[in-house]
Amino acid sequence: MKMERYRVGNPINTESVVVDVPLTEGECGLLGYDYAGKSLSLELSGEDLVYGLGVTTHGMNKRGWVFVSDCADDPVHTEGKRSLYSAHNFFLVQKKESSVGVYIDTPGKVTFDVAFSESDEIKISFEDFDFDLYIFESASPYGVVSGFRSIIGESYMAPKWAFGLCQSRWSYATEKEVEELVESYEKAGIPLDSVCLDIDYMDEYMDFTISDERFPDFENFVKRMKAKNIHLVPIIDAGVKIKEGYEVYEEGLRKGFFCKKEDGKELVAAVWPGRVHFPDFLNKDAREWFGQKYRFLIDKGVDGFWNDMNEPAIFYTEDHLNEVFEKIETYKNRNLDINSFFEFKNLVGTIDNNPADYASFYHDYNGQRINHSKVHNLYGFNMTRAAGEEIKKIAPDKDILLFSRSSFIGMHRYGGIWTGDNCSWWSHLLMNIEQMPGLSMSGFIYSGADTGGFGCDCSKELLLRWTAFSIFTPLFRNHSAAGTRRQEYTAFGDSTDFKNIIGIRYALLPYIYNSFVRAVKENTMYMAPLSFAFPGDDRARNIEDELLLGDSLMLAPVYTQNAKGRFVYLPEDMTFYRLRSASDYDVIPLKKGDHYIDVAINEVPLFVRKDKSLEIGNAAMNTSEVNF
Ligand code: GLC
C-alpha cells in the first residue's frame, strides 16, 4: 500500500487524522489542479467503480451523481438530494487490478461531482481551496481502506449489549409507557436490550434535565429496567434552551461557551425548546464543560446516549426571523405575481437551516476565531467528541453506548452513527443496504438505519423485510416518528414472525460481534460490496443489492413489496440458508451463478461463502444470555 499526502493552501486542521503522514511537495500526479476554479479532477475509465462518501443517497457505486459534503438536517432523503447529515470526504476508485483512495481533509463545503457532468471524470470543487489530500494506492480495495483507516484512528467499540435490539419511538412520553413496552415484548417473547428515550423525557426539551411529571422516579426506573437487563438510551440535543434559572444555560453563558456573532453577542437560534444557544463544541474548554454534563444521567445509572440535531439543525435564528416578519409586512395588500408570490413564499420556506445563518456565528477553535461556515462539518463530530472524551473520565470502567446523527471523519473514534430520518419506503430499505459499505470505509462501523423507517407509515411486510436486513447491522434499532403508524414489533397483530427473525440476530451474535471487532481492530470492512472480494468478476462488480458481511457471509435481502423471493448472483459456490428462526431453516448448496430464491415473508436469506462455515447459536431474549 502506497500512501501520500499533499497540501494546497493553508487548511484548517480538522483533527480527523491522528498519524503524521509526511507531506510530499508539489502536486499529486493522479489529479488535475484548477486553482482559479478551485477544483481537482480525477479521470475515470468506463470500468472504474467509485465507492465511499459515507452516508449519501444514490447507490453503492457513486458514479452518476453529485454529492456535497455539507452536513444537513434534511429529513427527506429523496434522489434529488446532494447532502445528508454527515460529511465523509473519503472515496475509493476500484479499477480492474488496483484501487486508489482519496481523502480530502478540510472542514468546509466540498462538492464531489462523480461522473455526473462528465462521464469520465470526478470533479472535486471547493469553497476554500485549502486542504490536505491523502492518496492511497493498493492492488486491493481492502488495502486502500485499511491504509486510510490506519491514519484516522481506531473506530469506536460499542458495548456488547448495544448489539441487541433497541426499541425506540419519538416519543415514549412516560415511565409507564416504557415499562408497558418492555412488558409487552417480554409477553410476546421478543428479545430486547435497550429502549431509547426521545425528547419527551426532558423538562421543556432542556438537555440534562428529566421531567418530574412524566419520569417522577427516574433513578428507580433505570434500576428496574437494569434488573431486566434493559438499558435506557436518552437523547441529547445540541441546542441549549435559553431560560433563566436553567443551570446549563446560565453556566454556559457565564463561561462564554456559546457560539457568538460578529458583535460578540451569543447567537440566538431555535430548535425544539424554542430559543437556544449553541455550545461551541470546537472550543476544547466548552467541550469539556458540556461533556461533563453527561454525568447527570450517568450518575442515575444511564449507560447510553444518542446525540441529535447536531449539524446543527436551526429552525430559525432570532435575527433572521425578525427580518422575515418585517419583510412579510411589505407584501401586505400587494398583487403577488409570478416573482413576488414565490419570494413571499420563500421568506418562511427558507428560514430553517439557512446558509446565511450558518455564516452569522463564530467558533473559538484552537485559539482562532473562525466563522461557522468554514468549519460547519466539524460541529456534530465535536459534540460527540465532547461526550466521548468526558464520558471516559466520568466512567472509565464502563462501556457506554454513544451514537450521533451528524458526523465527520474522526468522530468514528468516539461513537457510531445512525443514518437519520429515513422513511417507511421500500426505496429506503434499499438505500440502507447501499449505504452500509460507505460507512465501513469511513470507520463508522457501529451504525445502522431506523429499521422500518422513521417518517411515514410502515406496513408489516416492510417491517419484516427491513428487520430481516437490520439483524445484520451493528446498530439494530426500530425507530419511528411521532404521528406515524405505531411500529413496535407488537403493533401488527401476531408477532411470531418478528420474534423469530429477531431471534436469529441473537443466535448469530458471536459471528456479528466478531466481524465487528475485526473490522474495528484490523481496519477492515464490516459490510463490503461484492467487487471487493471478486474484483475480476464483472457480474459481481456491478451488483448493488448484495453485500459481504465479514469473512464468511453474503447477504441478499428482499427489498420489494409483494416479493416472494428474488434473483441472486453468486460469485462462487455458496450454501444458502433460508432461516425461519434460529432452529428452523433449510440448507441448500448452490453453484456459482444466477439463481432465483424463494424467500417467504417470515424468512431470512443468508449465504455462507465457499469453504466457510456458520455456527448458529440459540435464540435468546437478551444479549446477557448469549456467550459472545
Ligand atoms: C430528529 C431525529 C429523530 C428524533 C426527532 C425527535 O428528527 O433525527 O430521530 O426522533 O428528532 O427528537
Ligand 1 centroid from CA 197, angstroms? 11
In whole angstroms, what is the distance from residue 497 CA to residue 489 CA? Answer: 10
Three cell numbers written together for 152: 484516522
Indicate if ligand 1 lies below 6 Å from the C-beta of 132. no
* pLDDT (tens digit per residue) in 285-307: 999 999 999 999 999 999 999 99
Q: How far, in whole angstroms, is CA 588 from its chain's centroid?
A: 35
Q: Burial, 604: exposed, middle or buried (Cβ in 10 Å; 0-12, 13-18, 19+)? A: buried
Ligand 1 centroid from CA 428, angstroms? 17
Per-residue model confidence (pLDDT) at position 234? 98
Indicate if ligand 1 lies below 6 Å from the C-beta of 449. no
Per-residue model confidence (pLDDT) at position 278? 98
Indicate if ligand 1 lies below 6 Å from the C-beta of 453. no
- In degrees, rounded to 5, the angle at the alpha carbon of residue 182 between the alpha carbons of residues 168 and 463 is 45
| Mutation pick for ligand 1 pocket among 235, 404, 417, 484 (CB with most ligand atoms within 8 Å) | 235
Nearest-atom index, ligand 1, CA of 454:
9
Three cell numbers written together for 299: 450518575
DSSP 217: T
Backbone angles phi, psi at 240, to 5 degrees: -105, 120
Ligand 1 centroid from CA 28, angstroms? 42
* pLDDT (tens digit per residue) in 184-205: 999 999 999 999 999 999 999 9
Nearest-atom index, ligand 1, CA of 75:
7
Three cell numbers written together for 83: 447532502
Indicate if ligand 1 lies below 6 Å from the C-beta of 420. yes
Ligand 1 centroid from CA 238, angstroms? 12
* pLDDT (tens digit per residue) in 76-135: 999 999 999 999 999 999 999 999 999 999 999 999 999 999 999 999 999 999 999 999
- Provide the 3-class DSSP secondary structure of residue 114: strand
Per-residue model confidence (pLDDT) at position 78? 96
| Alpha-carbon distances, residue 403 vs 206, 306, 411 (angstroms) | 19, 5, 10
Indicate if ligand 1 lies below 6 Å from the C-beta of 62. no
Whose cell is 479499477? That residue is: 95
Write out 495-552 in H/E/C secondary structure.
CHHHHHHHHHHHHCHHHHHHHHHHHHHCCCCCEECHHHHCCCCHHHHCCCCCEEECCC
Indicate if ligand 1 lies below 6 Å from the C-beta of 280. no
Shortest-distance Cα residue to atom 10 of ligand 1: 170
Q: State yes or no: cis peptide before 171, omega within 30 of 0.
A: yes
DSSP one-letter string for 354-376? -HHHHTTEEEEETTEEEEHHHHG
pLDDT mean over 385-398: 98
* pLDDT (tens digit per residue) in 513-548: 999 999 999 999 999 999 999 999 999 999 999 999
Q: How many CB atoms lie within 10 A of CB 180?
A: 12
Which residues is 136 bridged to in the sheet?
A: 3, 101
pLDDT mean over 480-489: 98
* pLDDT (tens digit per residue) in 13-66: 999 999 999 999 999 999 999 999 999 999 999 999 999 999 899 999 999 999
Nearest-atom index, ligand 1, CA of 171:
10
What percent of the chain is predicted at pLDDT more than 70?
100
In whole angstroms, what is the distance from residue 580 CA to residue 563 CA? Answer: 16
| Mutation pick for ligand 1 pocket among 271, 454, 475 (CB with most ligand atoms within 8 Å) | 454
Contact (CB, 8 A) for 37 and 54: no
Sign of torsion over alpha carbons 164, 165, 166, 172: negative
Where b means 16+ CB within 10 Å and e means fewer, 36-75 reads eebbbbbebeeebbbbbbbbbbbbbbbbebbbbbbbbbbe
Indicate if ligand 1 lies below 6 Å from the C-beta of 385. no
Ligand 1 centroid from CA 154, angstroms? 28
